[in-house]
Structure 1
Amino acid sequence: MSPREFQHLIARVTAQLAARPLDASLATWLNATWPSGSDTYRELADACRTGVAEGWLCNREHGGIRYGRVIKPTPDTHGFSVDVVDMQDIAGPHHMHPNGEIDLIMPLTDSATFDGHPAGWCVYGPGSAHRPTVAHGQALVLYLLPQGAIEFTRDSSSA
């Protein structure tokens, strides 16, 4: 799996997402269409694990979190950027999603959760904010951000 092959894999997914609103119905659709255990989920998870092992994913580290933006928003990815993080029992920096965020949760420890969600998909709508948290183990999380938009903030729990 090369970064270019990874981008082609992501483009197959983002092609299905480009015209959809980022809301709870999208999360339901994603978890029904590509649930954990499906071929697409396994292919994405395998690609992410390979990318981390080869060093082109999660190639930065800060505060115990490995991360990296592997794809900037382009027409090839239907305007989505792609970031992948590797977190273990930690809360990340508080941030806001001006255009929303789609997350693919890939536990490396069976019991690991992301913001309380197990393996699968989670969607945050436009204007939402959170302090991303992996609990009960280690997980990779793939973030799809429309137009790459993210705003890091300060809140009382992260100050």
Structure 2
Amino acid sequence: MPSTQFREQIAELSAQLAGRPLDASLDAWLNAKHGVETPTFEHLKQSCQAGVSEGWLCDREGGGIRYGRIFKPAPDLHGFSVDVVDMQDIAGPHHTHPNGEIDLIMPLDAGAQFDGRPAGWLVCPPGSSHRPTVTGGRALVLYLLPEGSITFTR
């Protein structure tokens, strides 16, 4: 799968997110409209798995985490950047989301969770922070960051 097709998938989704507050209602909406049992979830997961397998996703490694920013914020992505990480039973570096963060959790091992959440969407509001943690196995996590904004804690 080429990265251009993946970009089109993200652009279609981000069009539905543009201008919406990153809050609990968006979290609920994403899980209802594009959750685990939907074609959106399945297509994004398949694309991410293909991208990792083909080497154009998660092409960097540090501290036991494979990661990579595949797309910088752009008008066709409605101002979102796109990152994907590949984590297994590990906690990543602490960071803050000045504008919030939208995560798609895609377990590769049954029972894998991200920040205590199973497969599906997690919306972190503006100003939130965490140490992203995968437990119970391996998972891919897709991050949509408004304006690509993230601040890592020293």
TM-score normalised to the size of structure 1? 0.96
Partner of 1:49: 49
- Residue type matched to 2:81 in 1? S
What is the SS of the residue equivalent to 2:17?
A: coil
The corresponding residue for 1:145 is: 145
After the TM superposition, which residues 9-20 of structure 1 pair with which residues of structure 2 at under 5 Å, given as runs? 9-20=9-20
Instruction: Report the equivalent of 1:157.
Output: none
What are the ranges of 5 or more consecutive residues in structure 1 without an aligned counterpart? Answer: 155-159
What TM-score does the superposition give when structure 2 sets the normalisation length? Answer: 0.99
Root-mean-square deviation over aligned CA pairs = 0.5
Amino acid at match of 2:138: Q
Q: Which 4+ residue blocks in structure 1 deviate beyond 6 angstroms?
A: none
Task: Return the alpha-carbon distance in structure 1 between the equivalents of residues 11 and 20 of structure 2.
Answer: 15
Report the counterpart of residue 80 of structure 2 in structure 1.
Answer: 80
Aligned letter for 1:122? Answer: L
Distance 1:38 1:138 in 2: 21
Q: Which amino acid aligns with 1:112?
A: A
Q: Which amino acid aligns with 1:63?
A: G
State the alpha-carbon separation in 1 of the partners of residues 16 and 146 from structure 2.
13
For 1:35 and 1:13, locate their aligned partners in 2 and report how far apart those are by CA, in whole Å: 12
How many residues were matched structurally? 154
Matched residue, 1:25: 25
Once the two structures are TM-superposed, the CA of residue 37 in structure 1 deviates from its matched residue by 2.1
Q: 1:64 aligns to what?
A: 64
Q: Match for 1:86: what amino acid?
A: D
Q: Which runs of 5+ in 2 are unaligned?
A: none
Paired letter, 2:92: G
